């Protein structure tokens, strides 16, 4: 845990500063035996993102045979285009991309392929005309995450005659996590005649925006009994808005809360009974990216997609030991 906390502190500083972990130039002290990787990260919008960066920094370290060039895109896809083109100019061995959205990558991926640089996509997926434009993808099964949440809702609210009113707090529009978690909910609402979505609010995966949109929605006085929030940071903002409005939530509250990511703070709230369900989204992609690159270096065939393992936690089953064993 101490190692992860130290890495999180380092990554927070780097993400806020927007600087690289290694200089772009290969000076006279550069070790040619190192594998040079350019990594474009979405930004620093959430606790999950910081843990994801920490995992990548740890796995792609000089001690593990890498020289990492890091770029913080600050939530702008144009910045990621620029970063990828800079990585190509720097003649890196691999490009790793955590894409802001699924679409818009065909052109820069073609440039990387023409330069002979494999692209590995992490976290969110990409939609391109030719899948050979990227080497592999590593991340979560966001649709399955949504299905786990739906299963809990079906078990918790089994009465088909009792109306279930849902407030849907969505992440960044077009991101795979948003698309798939939303899809799972939309399909479930279509199957259950007594389920309705009172509003779908755009929280952009940030605590500030989650607070803002939920605060404004609560002013309408529209009742709801379930908050389906697509990441923990938005959930934290929504909880603050509910507190200010005097609306109880959690195990014994008026509103039951479903949250995705299962970062440490969210799990503590779950243990306290303030969040009913935490669905894990595992950010520790670094070791899998390391294995993929090492396999590529050895000339081995690599899978087109690799899913990380994930579970969910409820306020009735979570224990302090479970939280203590977590790496993030």
Is residue 309 assigned to a domain?
Answer: no
Q: Is the pLDDT of residue 9 over 80?
A: no
What are the pLDDT digits (tens) for 262-277? 999 999 999 999 999 9
Q: Which distant-in-sequence residues (6+ apart) come within 8 Å of 277 by Cβ?
A: 149, 152, 256, 257, 258, 259, 270, 312, 313, 314, 315
Distances (CA, A) of 42 to 71, 73, 88, 105, 325: 9, 5, 18, 14, 27
The verdict on 151 and 162 lying in the same domain is yes
Tell me how far the alpha carbon of residue 33 is from its chain's centroid: 32
Report residue 230's pLDDT band, with 50, 70 and 90 as the boundaries. Answer: very high
What are the pLDDT digits (tens) for 299-322? 999 999 989 889 999 999 999 999
Give the pair of three-digit tokens for residue 243: 């507190």
Is residue 273 assigned to a domain?
Answer: yes
SS3 per-residue string spanning 169-193? EECCCCCHHHHHHHHHHHHHHHHCC
CATH code for the domain of 174: 3.40.50.2300
> 40, 55, 45: which is closest to 10 by C-alpha?
55
SS3 per-residue string spanning 218-230? HCCCCCCCEEEEC
The verdict on 220 and 73 lying in the same domain is no
The verdict on 188 and 320 lying in the same domain is yes
- Burial classification of residue 265, based on how many CB atoms lie within 10 Å of its CB (0-12 exposed, 13-18 middle, 19 or more buried): middle
The span from the CA of 293 to the CA of 200, in Å, is 39
The verdict on 276 and 146 lying in the same domain is yes
The verdict on 30 and 102 lying in the same domain is yes
Q: Per the structure, how many domains does the chain have?
A: 2
The verdict on 133 and 192 lying in the same domain is no
The verdict on 187 and 131 lying in the same domain is no
Range(s) of the domain holding residue 73: 2-138+284-297
The verdict on 7 and 130 lying in the same domain is yes
Is residue 246 assigned to a domain?
Answer: yes
Is residue 308 assigned to a domain?
Answer: no
The verdict on 160 and 293 lying in the same domain is no
What are the pLDDT digits (tens) for 112-141? 999 999 999 999 999 999 999 999 999 999
pTM of the model: 0.83
Greater confidence (109 vs 30) lies with: 109
Average pLDDT of every residue of the chain: 92
């Amino acid at each position: 845990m101490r190692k992860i906390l130290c890495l999180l502190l380092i990554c927070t500083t780097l993400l806020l500063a927007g600087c690289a972990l290694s200089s772009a130039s290969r000076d006279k002290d550069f070790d040619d035996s190192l594998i040079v990787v350019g990594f474009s990260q979405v930004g620093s919008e959430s606790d999950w993102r910081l843990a994801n960066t920490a995992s990548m920094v740890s796995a792609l370290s000089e001690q593990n045979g890498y020289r990492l060039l890091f770029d913080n895109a600050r939530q702008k896809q144009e910045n990621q285009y620029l970063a990828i083109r800079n990585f190509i100019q720097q003649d890196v061995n691999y490009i790793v991309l955590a894409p802001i959205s699924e679409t818009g990558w065909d052109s820069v991926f073609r440039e990387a392929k023409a330069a002979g640089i494999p692209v590995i996509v992490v976290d969110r997926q990409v939609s391109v005309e030719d899948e050979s434009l990227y080497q592999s993808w590593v991340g979560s099964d966001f649709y399955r995450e949504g299905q786990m949440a739906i299963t809990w809702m079906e078990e918790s609210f089994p009465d088909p005659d009792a109306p279930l009113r849902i407030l849907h707090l969505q992440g960044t529009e077009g991101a795979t996590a948003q698309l798939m978690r939303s899809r799972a909910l939309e399909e479930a609402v279509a199957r259950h005649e007594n389920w309705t979505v009172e509003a779908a609010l755009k929280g952009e995966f940030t605590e500030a925006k989650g607070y803002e949109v939920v605060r404004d929605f609560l002013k309408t006085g529209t009742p709801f009994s379930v908050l389906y929030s697509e990441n923990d940071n938005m959930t934290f903002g929504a909880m603050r808005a509910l507190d200010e409005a005097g609306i109880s939530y959690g195990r014994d509250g008026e509103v039951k809360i479903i949250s995705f990511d299962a970062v440490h703070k969210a799990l503590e709230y779950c243990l306290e009974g303030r969040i009913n369900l935490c669905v894990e989204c595992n950010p520790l992609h670094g070791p899998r990216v390391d294995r993929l690159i090492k396999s590529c270096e050895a000339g081995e065939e690599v899978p087109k997609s690799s899913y990380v393992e994930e579970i969910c936690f409820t306020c009735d089953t979570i224990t302090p030991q479970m939280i203590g064993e977590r790496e993030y």
